[in-house]
Amino acid sequence: MKKYAYFCGFLLMVFFFLGSLSVQAEEIKNNTGNIEIKNENVDAEKWNKKDKILENREETKSVELEQEKNKKDRYILLLKDNGFAYYLDSQNVKWKPIPYSETEEILDVWIKLINVDSSEEEYSYPKKYFLEHYYIRPKRQQIQFLSELEVAGRPDNAIKERAYSVHNWENIVSGSLEDEIYHKVMAVMKKKNQFWPAHTSVRDVLEDIFRISL
Q: How confident is the model at residue 213 (pLDDT cuts 50, 70, 90)?
A: very low
**Burial class (CB within 10 angstroms; exposed 0-12, middle 13-18, buried 19+) of 195:** middle
* Overall average pLDDT of the 32-41 stretch: 64
Regarding predicted confidence, which is higher, 199 or 190?
190
DSSP state of 213: -
Cα end-to-end distance, the chain, whole Å? 144
Which are the contacts of 114, defined by CB distance < 8 A and separation ≥ 6? 84, 85, 87, 129
Q: State pLDDT tens for residues 59-107.
A: 555 544 444 554 568 999 999 998 999 999 999 999 999 988 878 999 9
Average pLDDT of the segment spanning 183-189: 95
Q: Does the pLDDT of residue 176 top 50, yes or no? A: yes
Averaged pLDDT, 171-187: 95
Q: Which of 28-32, 50-54, 128-132 has the lowest mean pLDDT?
A: 28-32
Residue 164's contacts (CB-CB under 8 Å, 6 or more residues apart) are 99, 135, 144, 146
Mean pLDDT over each residue of the chain, to the nearest integer: 78
pLDDT recorded at residue 149? 93
Q: What is the mean predicted confidence (pLDDT) over 168-197?
A: 91
Position 201: which residue type? S
SS (H, E, C) 174-199: CCCHHHHHHHHHHHHHHHCCCCCCCC
Q: Are 83 and 113 in contact (CB under 8 A)?
A: no
122-156 pLDDT, tens digit each = 666 788 999 999 999 999 999 999 999 999 888 88
